[in-house]
Amino acid sequence: MTPEPLGPLAKLLISGLLLGLCVAIHAAGIVGLSRWLRSRINGRGHGYLAALWAVVRITRVLIGLHLVAILIWALAYVELGCLPDLHTAFYFSSITYTTVGYGDVVLPAPWRAISGAEALTGIFLAGLSTAFLFAFLSKVLQHRTEQ
């Protein structure tokens, strides 16, 4: 049996850094998206089609931010030697991040605990995205009822 390359505290630190990086990127994306929305929509009435198109654009950006987070975790799995290639790592990362967890690809036993941190990242960022989209829709609907 080969010894573990890193101890549990190091793995916890790696998990925390990856989670923090993903949250920071996602938050920066949402702040940028919020500023863009404010500059494009603020003070103007938005019709049905404009609001619909804005929701599509917001959703597209949010999904892109989630894909970046999945890619960050996948790159980490490859770099740490947990998974053999980026294709497998991206697949594993996407099913872990979304908490689907098929179980057909698993991390080596010494590294399995960090996949929980990725699932937590996915749950948290999905909630953040949902809250942002809900806040936008609430503002649009409120504005439409005030007219």
pLDDT of 79-132, one tens digit each? 999 999 999 999 999 999 999 999 999 999 999 989 999 999 999 999 999 999
In Å, how far are 3, 23, 25, 63, 102 from 40, measured between CA atoms?
56, 25, 22, 21, 42
The per-residue pLDDT for 50 is 80
pLDDT for 15: 96
- Per-residue pLDDT at 53: 87
Q: Are 35 and 135 in contact (CB under 8 A)?
A: no
pLDDT digits (tens, 9 = 90+) for 22-71: 999 999 999 999 998 888 765 555 677 888 888 899 999 999 999 999 99
